[in-house]
Structure 1
Amino acid sequence: MLVSTKWLNEYVNINGINPADLAEKITRSGIEVDSIIDRSHGMTNVVVGYVKECVKHPEADKLNICQVDVGEETTQIICGAPNIAQGQKVIVARPGAVLPGGMKIKKAKLRGEESNGMICSLQELGIEGKLVAKAYAEGIYVLPQDTIPGENALPLLGLDDTVLEFDLTPNRSDALSMLGVAYEVGAILSQGIALPKIDFTESAEKAEDKLKLRVDAPADNPMYVAKVVKNIKVAESPLWLQNYLMAAGVRPHNNVVDITNYVLMEYGQPLHAFDYDRLGTGEIVVRHAEEGEKITTLDDTERTLNSHNLVITNGKEPVAIAGVMGGANSEVHNGTTTVVIESAYFAPASVRQTSKEVGLRSDASTRFEKGVDPNRVQEAAERAAQLMAELAGGEVLSGSVIVDELDKTAERITISPDYINSRLGMKISMDDMLSILERLKIPTEAINGQLVIEAPTRRQDLRIKEDIIEEVARMYGYDEIPKTLPVSESTPGGLTPYQAKRRIVRQFLEGAGLYQAITYSLTSKEQSQAYALETAPVTELLMPMSEERSILRQSLIPHLLDATTYNVARRIDSVALYETGSVFLGEEEDGLPREVEHVAAVLTGKWVDHAWQGETKKVDFFVMKGIVEGMMERLGLLDGLAFEQAAIDGMHPGRTANIFLNGERIGLVGQIHPTEQKKRDLKETYVMELNLERILSVDTDELLYAPVPRFPSISRDIALVVDSGTSAGTLEAIIRKAGGKLLKDVKLFDLYEGNNVEEGKKSLAFSMTYFDPERTLTDEEVVKAHEKVLNALTNDADAQLRG
Structure 2
Amino acid sequence: MKLNRKWLNEEFVDLSGVPDREFVETMTIAGQKVETYERLDAELRNVVVGRVVSITRHTNSDHMWVCQIDVGAGEPVQIVTGAQNVHEGDLVPVAQHNSWLPGGVHITKGKLRGEVSNGMLCSLKELGLTLNDFPYAIEDGIWILQEDCKPGDDINTVIGNDDTVVDFEITNNRPDCYSILGLAREAAAAFNKPMRHHDPVVRGGAAGELSELLEVEVPAEDLCRRYTARMVRNVKIAPSPKWLRQRLRANGVRPINNIVDITNYVMLEYGQPMHAFDYRYVGSGKIIVRRSEPGEALTTLDGNVRTLTPGMLVIADETKPIGLAGIMGGENSEIMDDTVDVVFESANFNGTSIRQTALALGMRTEASGKFEKNIDPLLTLPAVDRACELVELLGAGEVMDGVIDVLNDIPEPRTIELEPDRINALLGTDISEADMVEYLRRLEIPVEGHEIHVPSWRPDLVGMADIAEEVGRLFGYNNIPTTTFRGAATEGGYMEAMKLENRAGSLCRSLGYSEILTYSFVSPSIFDQIRLPEDSSLRNAMRIQNPLGEDASIMRTVALPSMLAILARNNAYHNDAVKLYELAKVYLPKPGQILPDEPKHLVLGTYGEHEDFFKMKGEIEAFLRGMNVPEARYTAEKHDPTFHPGRCARVSVGGVDLGCFGQIHPLVARSYGIDGEIFAAELNFTALLSLQLPEKTYTPLPKYPAVTRDIAVVCDEAVTVAALSDCIRAAGGKLLRSVELFDIYRGKGIASGSKSAAFRLTLRADDRTLTDADSDGVVSAVLAALEKELNAKLR
For normalisation by structure 2, the TM-score amounts to 0.64
1:634 aligns with 2:626: yes
The one-letter code sitting in structure 2 at the alignment partner of 1:184 is: E
The one-letter code sitting in structure 2 at the alignment partner of 1:16 is: G
**3-state DSSP class of the match of 1:458?**
coil
Change (3 A) 1:504 1:485: closer
Partners in 1 of 2:706 and 2:312 — Cα distance? Answer: 87
**3-state DSSP class of the match of 2:98?**
coil
1:304-342 deviation digits (Å, cap 9, x = unpaired): 98877655455677666654x337766858779476543
Equivalent residue number for residue 499 of structure 1:
498
Change (3 A) 1:636 1:433: closer
Q: Is the 8 A contact 1:156 1:239 kept in 2?
A: no
Segments of structure 2 that go 5 or more residues without pairing to the other structure are 56-62, 72-76, 531-537, 747-751, 766-773
Change (3 A) 1:418 1:515: closer
Equivalent residue number for residue 16 of structure 2:
15
**3-state DSSP class of the match of 1:218?**
coil
Equivalent residue number for residue 460 of structure 1:
459
Partners in 1 of 2:158 and 2:319 — Cα distance? Answer: 46
Partners in 2 of 1:239 and 1:685 — Cα distance? Answer: 81
1:268 paired residue among 268, 271, 285: 271
**CA-CA distance at 1:183 after TM superposition:** 2.1
Matched positions, count: 722
The one-letter code sitting in structure 1 at the alignment partner of 2:20 is: P
Equivalent residue number for residue 796 of structure 1:
none
Change (3 A) 1:407 1:117: same
Judge which range, 116-125 or 285-294, deviates more: 116-125
1:174 aligns with 2:179: no
Q: Superposed, which structure 2 residues align to 1:740-759 within 5 Å?
A: 741=730
**CA-CA distance at 1:15 after TM superposition:** 1.8
Equivalent residue number for residue 372 of structure 1:
375
Change (3 A) 1:626 1:20: farther
**CA-CA distance at 1:14 after TM superposition:** 0.8
Q: Is the 8 A contact 1:528 1:551 kept in 2?
A: no
**3-state DSSP class of the match of 1:204?**
coil
**CA-CA distance at 1:192 after TM superposition:** 3.1
Partners in 2 of 1:687 and 1:85 — Cα distance? Answer: 89
Partners in 2 of 1:164 and 1:619 — Cα distance? Answer: 63
Partners in 1 of 2:161 and 2:588 — Cα distance? Answer: 59
1:185 aligns with 2:184: no
Equivalent residue number for residue 160 of structure 1:
162
The one-letter code sitting in structure 1 at the alignment partner of 2:22 is: D
Equivalent residue number for residue 45 of structure 1:
45
Judge which range, 235-244 or 164-173, deviates more: 235-244
The one-letter code sitting in structure 2 at the alignment partner of 1:378 is: L
**CA-CA distance at 1:223 after TM superposition:** 0.8
Partners in 1 of 2:471 and 2:348 — Cα distance? Answer: 30
Partners in 2 of 1:122 and 1:685 — Cα distance? Answer: 76
Give identity over the alignment, percent.
30
The one-letter code sitting in structure 1 at the alignment partner of 2:266 is: V
**CA-CA distance at 1:160 after TM superposition:** 3.5
Q: Is the 8 A contact 1:47 1:91 kept in 2?
A: yes
Equivalent residue number for residue 326 of structure 1:
328
Q: Is the 8 A contact 1:260 1:271 kept in 2?
A: yes
Q: Is the 8 A contact 2:200 2:389 kept in 1?
A: no
Partners in 1 of 2:525 and 2:393 — Cα distance? Answer: 64
Change (3 A) 1:21 1:738: same
Q: Is the 8 A contact 2:122 2:142 kept in 1?
A: no
Q: Superposed, which structure 2 residues align to 1:520-539 within 5 Å?
A: 536=542
Change (3 A) 1:94 1:428: same
Q: Superposed, which structure 2 residues align to 1:228-247 within 5 Å?
A: 228=231, 244-245=247-248
Q: Is the 8 A contact 1:560 1:577 kept in 2?
A: no
**CA-CA distance at 1:378 after TM superposition:** 1.6
Equivalent residue number for residue 60 of structure 2:
none
Q: Is the 8 A contact 1:76 1:114 kept in 2?
A: yes
The one-letter code sitting in structure 2 at the alignment partner of 1:460 is: P
Q: Is the 8 A contact 1:186 1:193 kept in 2?
A: no
2:413 paired residue among 410, 425, 431: 410
Q: Is the 8 A contact 1:46 1:154 kept in 2?
A: no
1:710 aligns with 2:706: yes
Segments of structure 1 that go 5 or more residues without pairing to the other structure are 54-63, 79-83, 608-616, 723-729, 753-757, 793-800
Change (3 A) 1:282 1:720: farther
Change (3 A) 1:320 1:451: same
Change (3 A) 1:77 1:674: farther
Equivalent residue number for residue 384 of structure 1:
387
**CA-CA distance at 1:13 after TM superposition:** 0.9
Q: Is the 8 A contact 1:295 1:319 kept in 2?
A: yes
Equivalent residue number for residue 663 of structure 1:
657
Q: Superposed, which structure 2 residues align to 1:566-605 within 5 Å?
A: none
Q: Is the 8 A contact 2:44 2:127 kept in 1?
A: no
Q: Is the 8 A contact 1:539 1:552 kept in 2?
A: no
**CA-CA distance at 1:179 after TM superposition:** 1.0
The one-letter code sitting in structure 2 at the alignment partner of 1:499 is: M
Equivalent residue number for residue 228 of structure 2:
225
1:453-480 deviation digits (Å, cap 9, x = unpaired): 5433223344556655665565466677
Q: Is the 8 A contact 1:713 1:770 kept in 2?
A: yes
The one-letter code sitting in structure 2 at the alignment partner of 1:219 is: D
Judge which range, 770-779 or 619-628, deviates more: 619-628
Q: Is the 8 A contact 2:226 2:406 kept in 1?
A: yes
Change (3 A) 1:772 1:525: closer
1:215 paired residue among 210, 215, 218: 218
Q: Superposed, which structure 2 residues align to 1:73-112 within 5 Å?
A: 73=77, 75=79, 95-97=97-99
Change (3 A) 1:47 1:206: farther
Q: Is the 8 A contact 1:51 1:66 kept in 2?
A: no
Q: Is the 8 A contact 2:564 2:672 kept in 1?
A: no
For normalisation by structure 1, the TM-score amounts to 0.64
Change (3 A) 1:595 1:91: farther
The one-letter code sitting in structure 2 at the alignment partner of 1:176 is: Y
The one-letter code sitting in structure 1 at the alignment partner of 2:697 is: L
